[in-house]
Chains A and B, each alone.
Chain A
Amino acid sequence: MSFLTLTDITKVFGTTTVVRDFDLTVEAGEFISFLGPSGCGKTTVLRMIAGFEKPTSGTIRVGGADVTALPASRRKIGMVFQAYALFPNMSVRENVAFGLKIAGMSGREIASRVDEMLDLIALGHLADRYPYQLSGGQQQRVALARALAPRPNLLLLDEPLSALDAQIRTSLRDDIRRIQRELGITTVFVTHDQEEALSVSDRVVVMHAGRADQIGTPSEIYNRPTTRFVADFVGQLNTFTAKQVGPQSLHFAGVDVGGLDLSSVAANSAVTVALRPEAMSLNRRPTDTQSLPGRVLQSSFLGSVIRAQVNVAGTPVSIDMFNRAGVTVPAQGAQTEVWFAHDDLVILPESAT
C-alpha cells in the first residue's frame, strides 16, 4: 500500500503547462528525490504536494486520504525551504516550538519535544540564539527540526542544500538521510544536483519539461537510463549513432556488435548507443567482452583516475580508468583498443526522447 500517490497531475500557469501527466507512488518511509534541470517543474510538484498550489487536474492522496482540496495548513506536511525561512523574530527554541504551539500542545510537552528535536540536530547549545546569529548550515538544521517537530506525515525539502557551501552540503545531506532513516519519515527531496540525488535516495524521479522521464533506484537511473534526456543529464556519456544489422546486432563505430537485447527498438529505426566513461578501459578487464579500435588524442593522470580522450571512428570518446597495477597512462597518438562489457552498453531507441 503506497503512502503518497500522485495521479495524473497537470499544472497550468496561464497558458504554459508546467507539469503534465505526472504519476508517482511513494511507499511509507521511502526517500524520493526529484532530479532535473532548473525550470523543469520540480518545485511546482512539491508545492502541490504541500498544498501551496492546486493541481489543474489530477489527485493527490496521502495515507489513503484525498488531500487535493485540503489547504496547506491542514495537511500535516513538514516543509524545508532553500532559503531556510526561519522566523527572524523567534529564537531557535521558539522556531522549533511554533508548530507545536499551533497544535495546542501543553508547555511541558512542547519543551520536551523541542529538546528532543534540538538533540537530533545537535544544536541544543544554540537554543536561545536568533536566526541572524546562526550560520546557513545551522539555520537549515533548525528549519529541519522545526518541520519535523509536529510529527508530520511527510517531509518535503526544496533544494535545502543549494545555498550552502560544498563541505556543509555533503555533511548536512548525510545528516538529513540519517535523521530520515531514524524517524522513518516518508520524504520528498528536490534537487538539481545529480550527485545529491543519487547519494541519498531510495528512488529518484528524473524530471524533464514537466514530466517524470524515469523513476528508479539510483543505480537503475545511472546504469539503465531509459531516455536520451536521463542519459545525458545523469552522469557523463559517450554516444554513437548505430544501425540495426540483425535481430540482436547493431553496427556502430565501424564494428558489428552482436548479442544485444534489442526488444525496445522498433525494426529499422535509428538507435543511439551510449557508454559511461568508467565503463570503458584501454586494458582488457576480465568482464570486458567487446572492443572498438581507436587512437589516443590526449590523456591525463588524475591520481586515483586516469582520463583519456580517444578518437573512435571519428567520435572523441572520454574514458576513465582506475589507477591500478597494470594500467599505464596511454601515449598520445598511440593506436589502441577500447574495451567494454556488452552489459554496460546503454541502448536508447529513437523513440526515447
Chain B
Amino acid sequence: MSRQVPVLSVVIAVLGAAFFIVPLIATFNFSLRMKRGELSFEAYRSVFESDVFVSVLSFSAVASMLAILVGIVIVVPTAYWVRLRVPRMRPVVEFLSLMPLIIPPVVLVFGYVRIYGTGSFLPMTMTDTGTNTLLVIGYVVLSIPYMYRAVDNGMASIDIATLTEAAESLGASRLRTIAFVIFPNIRSAIVSGAFLTFSISLGEFVITSLLNRPGFGPYLVQMGQDYAYQPAALAIMAFAFTWTCMVLMEVFANLKPGQRLLRQRTSTSVEKALP
C-alpha cells in the first residue's frame, strides 16, 4: 500500500489550529503595541504596577486555594466511601456531582443570596467574612464536577477495596489506611483536580461579581471596558497560566511511584533495565 498524504485532513487540521492560534497571535501582538511605533511589554508593566491588580489576584488566589482544600476534604472521603461501602450508589453520586454544570452559576448565587441574605435565618452576606465564605463555597461547588471526576478516576486506577483490606489485615486503622495507602496513590489525581479548580475559580466572574467581591474575574471585565492594551496583556497571561496548569497536571498524572520530578531520567533507566 502506498502512503498517501491525507490532504483533506491536513487542511482541516491547519484550519482548526488557525482558528485558535491566529486570534491568540493577534492579541499578543496587540498587547505589545501600547507604545506607539515600537513593540514593548509596556502594557504588562502597567498591569503589574497597578496595586489593584496585585490585590485582586492575591484575593482570588487565596479564595481558590481555600476552595481546593475544602474540595479535597469533601471529595476524597466521599469518593472513597462510595467506592468502598455503597458502590451501587456511584452513578447517583456521579450524577449529583454533575449538577453544578447543569445549574447556571447565576441561579446558584441568587439562591445563596436569598437563603443567606439579609433577613434570612443565617445572614452570611451581612459580613465580609460571611460573604467570602459564601464565595469559597461557590467555588467549591463549581469545581466539584472536575474534582470528583479526577479523584474518582484516580481511585478507579487502584483497587481501593483490596488495598484497604490489605492495610487493615496488617493492623492499620481506617485513618492510617487513608493517610498512608489511599491518599499517596491518588495524589496525582488530587493534584489534577486542584489545578482544574484553580484555573476555574481564579478568573471566575459571575459568583464573584454578584457577591461583590474584589476578585480577579470582575477586575478583568472592568479593565476590558476601560482600557485597550492592558486587557490584551491580561488575556495572554491568563492563557499562559491555564496552559501551565494543564502541563503540570499532565506531568503529575504521569508520575510513577518513586519518581521525583527532577529524577525522571534515572527512574526511566531502571524501567528499561527490566527484562
Q: Which residues of B contact A171 (CB under 8 A)?
A: none
**CB-CB contacts of A54-82 with B at 8 A, as 1s and 0s?**
00000000000000000111111111010
Complex Cα–Cα for A146 and B256 (A): 22
Q: Are B169 and A77 in contact (CB under 8 A)?
A: yes
Q: Which residues of A contact B184 (CB under 8 A)?
A: 89
CB distance from B106 to the nearest CB of A (A): 42
Complex Cα–Cα for A89 and B184 (A): 7
CB distance from A133 to the nearest CB of B (A): 6
**CB-CB contacts of A95-109 with B at 8 A, as 1s and 0s?**
000110011000000
Q: Are B257 and A72 in contact (CB under 8 A)?
A: no
Does any Cβ of B come within 8 Å of A147's Cβ?
Answer: yes
Q: Are A83 and B162 in contact (CB under 8 A)?
A: yes
The number of chain B residues with a CB under 8 A from chain A is 24
Q: A73-B173, A76-B171, A98-B170 are in contact. Are A87 and B165 (CB under 8 A)?
A: no
Q: Are B257 and A90 in contact (CB under 8 A)?
A: yes
Q: Are B162 and A81 in contact (CB under 8 A)?
A: yes
Q: A79-B169, A98-B170, A102-B170 are in contact. Are A89 and B185 (CB under 8 A)?
A: yes
Q: Which of B139-188 contact A (CB under 8 A)?
A: 158-159, 162-163, 165-173, 176, 180-181, 184-185
Q: Are A85 and B171 in contact (CB under 8 A)?
A: no
Q: Are B166 and A79 in contact (CB under 8 A)?
A: yes
Does any Cβ of B come within 8 Å of A322's Cβ?
Answer: no
Does any Cβ of B come within 8 Å of A301's Cβ?
Answer: no
Q: A87-B181, A89-B184, A133-B270 are in contact. Are A150 and B162 (CB under 8 A)?
A: no
CB distance from A195 to the nearest CB of B (A): 26
CB distance from B104 to the nearest CB of A (A): 40
Does any Cβ of B come within 8 Å of A308's Cβ?
Answer: no
Complex Cα–Cα for A118 and B39 (A): 66
Q: Which of B245-275 contact A (CB under 8 A)?
A: 256-258, 270-271, 274
Contact of A88 among B165, B257, B270 (CB under 8 A): B257
Q: Which residues of B contact A76 (CB under 8 A)?
A: 171
Complex Cα–Cα for A90 and B185 (A): 9
Q: A91-B258, A130-B257, A132-B257 are in contact. Are A85 and B163 (CB under 8 A)?
A: yes
Complex Cα–Cα for A132 and B167 (A): 18
The number of chain A residues with a CB under 8 A from chain B is 34
Q: Are B168 and A132 in contact (CB under 8 A)?
A: no
Complex Cα–Cα for A51 and B167 (A): 13
Q: Which residues of B contact A88 (CB under 8 A)?
A: 158, 185, 257
Contact of B171 among A87, A89, A130, A150 (CB under 8 A): A150
> What residue in chain A is nearest B259 (Cβ atoms)?
A130
Does any Cβ of B come within 8 Å of A230's Cβ?
Answer: no
Q: Which residues of A contact B180 (CB under 8 A)?
A: 98
CB distance from B222 to the nearest CB of A (A): 46
Q: Which of B57-109 contact A (CB under 8 A)?
A: none
Complex Cα–Cα for A90 and B170 (A): 15
Most interface-central of B165, B173, B184 (chain A CB within 10 A): B165
Q: Are A85 and B257 in contact (CB under 8 A)?
A: no
Q: Are B169 and A98 in contact (CB under 8 A)?
A: no
Q: A133-B271, A133-B274, A150-B170 are in contact. Are A72 and B165 (CB under 8 A)?
A: yes
Q: A81-B162, A88-B185 are in contact. Are A102 and B172 (CB under 8 A)?
A: yes
Contact of A78 among B169, B185, B257, B270 (CB under 8 A): B169
Contact of A85 among B166, B176, B270, B271 (CB under 8 A): B166
The 4 A-B residue pairs with the shortest CB-CB distance, nearest first, are A99-B170, A79-B169, A89-B184, A85-B166
15 contacts between A and B (CB under 8 A): A73-B168, A73-B173, A74-B171, A75-B169, A77-B169, A78-B169, A78-B170, A85-B163, A87-B181, A89-B185, A98-B180, A102-B170, A103-B171, A133-B271, A150-B170
Listed in ascending order, the chain B residues whose CB lies under 8 Å from chain A are 158-159, 162-163, 165-173, 176, 180-181, 184-185, 256-258, 270-271, 274
Known A-B contacts: A51-B169, A79-B169, A81-B165. Give 17 more (CB < 8 A). Answer: A71-B168, A73-B168, A73-B171, A78-B169, A79-B165, A86-B166, A87-B163, A88-B257, A89-B184, A91-B258, A98-B172, A102-B172, A130-B257, A130-B258, A146-B170, A147-B169, A147-B170
